Amino acid sequence: MTDKIRAYIDEVEQFSTDKIEDIENFRIKFLGKKGILNDFFAEFKNVPNEQKKDFGKAVNELKESAQAKVESLKSSLETKLEDKGVYGDLTRPAEPIDIGARHPISIVKNQIINIFSNIGFNVSEGPEIENDWHNFTALNLPEYHPARDMQDTFFIQTNPEDILLRTHTSSVQVRYMEENKAPIRTISPGRVFRNEDISARSHCIFHQVEGLYIDKNVSFKDLKQTLIYFTTELFGKSKIRLRPSYFPFTEPSAEVDIYWGLQTETDYRITKGTGWLEIMGCGMVDPNVLKNCNIDPKEYTGFAFGMGIERIAMLLYQIGDIRMFYENDLRFLEQFKSSL
Ligand code: DAH
């Protein structure tokens, strides 16, 4: 019996091939489930006791040499294939990996956050499903106030209290003032909802960034200076004008225009020939709002502002249709690359 094994060991040692199929057949013949080695292992129990030791040793030797043979044939075959260039030029550059890109809304949002965090503003967030108090009443928009008409609202529930999709991120300033003590410097980016017809210029879902600054002796000139800093950082344009306007939560209120210029045909088109573009609303926080949020208007004053991120992104990237932001067309999205 042991001689038979020895004969197999010789066969194993002599075996040579450079074909992958032959190596596999060899492996199956010796090491496979129904292979020679398993037959010998099964035979073990029938071997007389005094021969068991030699038999076992020989079988193990056969096993090891068969395994070693398979390994060495495989690795020499691989080296040969590599030498022949079967795997191609291994020094060639790798296939590019598609790493994706941020959405333009996120890029612009992050830029705005960066600009304001450089002057000490933190970032705050609030819920998209709001109650009447935070979205309207606390902001000096009591029930039946006509200014509520400025924002067509999606109501979720009207009884016992009004629950709605927030129409602006100004709701977050109320929450922030309720939960934090002055001085306050915060910006609140987020998604807002309005029951508006979808067109190239407006959508029922969009994004805003709200800003709030509350401290002692904050004045309108602090507001203006902050806005000039912001427009210079974001657009590289420092010429702005504040047009008197009305928001219930600020007094006085203003709309901010930046001077875009009239260099190109596009400048003419988007500024309707005036060179000026409206980019946000702002004002001094109305004392009633401070009171509603438990801040003493005799001790503290502050300013607030709010802007639409889509509008700013459309200006920065010259995008003509707001709907493109939500279609997730890769040909559109892949054009935006940013480290932010
Ligand atoms: N909430 C306003 C809107 O959605 C934007 C706004 C205007 C916010 C003036 C402000 C502000 O904080 O002071 O149209």
Structural domain contains residue 59: yes
What domain range includes position 43? 2-88
Sorted by sequence, the CB contacts under 8 Å of residue 235 that are 6+ apart come out as 258, 315, 316
Domain match, 177 and 295 both: yes
For residue 167, give the ligand 1 atom closest to its CA.
4
Answer yes or no: do 182 and 256 share one domain: yes
User: In testing the pocket of ligand 1, which one of 191, 230, 305 has its CB within 8 Å of the most ligand atoms?
Assistant: 305
* Residues 206 and 319 occupy one common structural domain: yes
Q: Are residues 50 and 147 in the same domain?
A: no
The pLDDT value recorded for residue 82 is 76
Q: In terms of domains, do 300 and 206 share one?
A: yes
pTM greater than 0.95 (yes/no): no
For residue 212, give the ligand 1 atom closest to its CA.
12
Does one domain contain both 186 and 226?
yes
Q: Is residue 50 part of a domain?
A: yes
Q: What is the pLDDT of residue 149?
A: 79
Same domain, 211 and 326: yes
User: Are 108 and 83 in a shared domain?
Assistant: no
Using the 8-state DSSP alphabet, how is residue 139 labeled?
G
Task: Name the residue with the closest Cα to ligand 1, atom 8.
Answer: 306
Answer yes or no: is 40 within a domain: yes
The answer to the question of residue 293 being in a domain is yes
Instruction: Answer yes or no: do 58 and 116 share one domain.
Output: no
CATH, residue 116:
3.30.930.10
Q: What is the count of structural domains for the chain? A: 2
Structural domain includes residue 240:
yes
Name the residue type at position 80.
K
pLDDT at res. 151: 81
Taking 70 as the pLDDT cut, the residues of the chain under it are 340
Distance 236 CA to ligand 1 centre (A): 23
For a mutational test of ligand 1's pocket, the pick from 249, 257, 278, i.e. the residue with the most ligand atoms closer than 8 A to its C-beta, is 249
| Long-range contacts, 114-119 (Cβ 8 Å, 24+) | 114/340, 115/229, 115/230, 115/233, 115/234, 116/187, 116/211, 116/230, 118/233, 119/185, 119/226, 119/229
* Residue-level pLDDT at 28: 93
Q: What's the CA-to-centroid distance between 309 and ligand 1, angstroms?
A: 13
Q: What is the pLDDT of residue 236?
A: 94
CB 203, CB 314: distance < 8 Å: no
Question: What pLDDT was estimated at residue 98?
Answer: 78
Residues 48 and 160 in one domain: no
Same domain, 77 and 109: no
Looking at ligand 1, which residue's alpha carbon is closest to its atom 13? Answer: 282
Q: What is the pLDDT of residue 83?
A: 75
* Ligand 1 pocket by Cβ (under 6 Å): 168, 170, 210, 247, 250, 281-283, 304-306
Which ligand 1 atom is the nearest neighbour of the CA of 173? Answer: 12
Residue 95 maps to a domain:
no
Looking from the CA of residue 192, the nearest atom of ligand 1 is 4
User: Which residue's alpha carbon is nearest to atom 6 within ligand 1?
Assistant: 306
Closest approach atom of ligand 1 to CA 211:
12
- Same domain, yes or no: 117 and 150: yes
pLDDT for the residue 84 = 74
Q: Is the preceding peptide bond at 183 cis, omega within 30 degrees of 0?
A: yes
Question: Does any domain span residue 94?
Answer: no
Look at residue 244 and tell me if it is in a domain. Answer: yes
**Residues facing residue 211 across a β-bridge:** 187, 305
171, 125 in Cβ contact below 8 A?
A: no
Full 3-state SS string of 242-301: EEEEEECCEEEEEEEEEECCCCCHHHHHHCCCCCEEEEEEEEEECHHHHHHCCCCCCCCE
| Nearest Cα residue to atom 2 of ligand 1 | 306
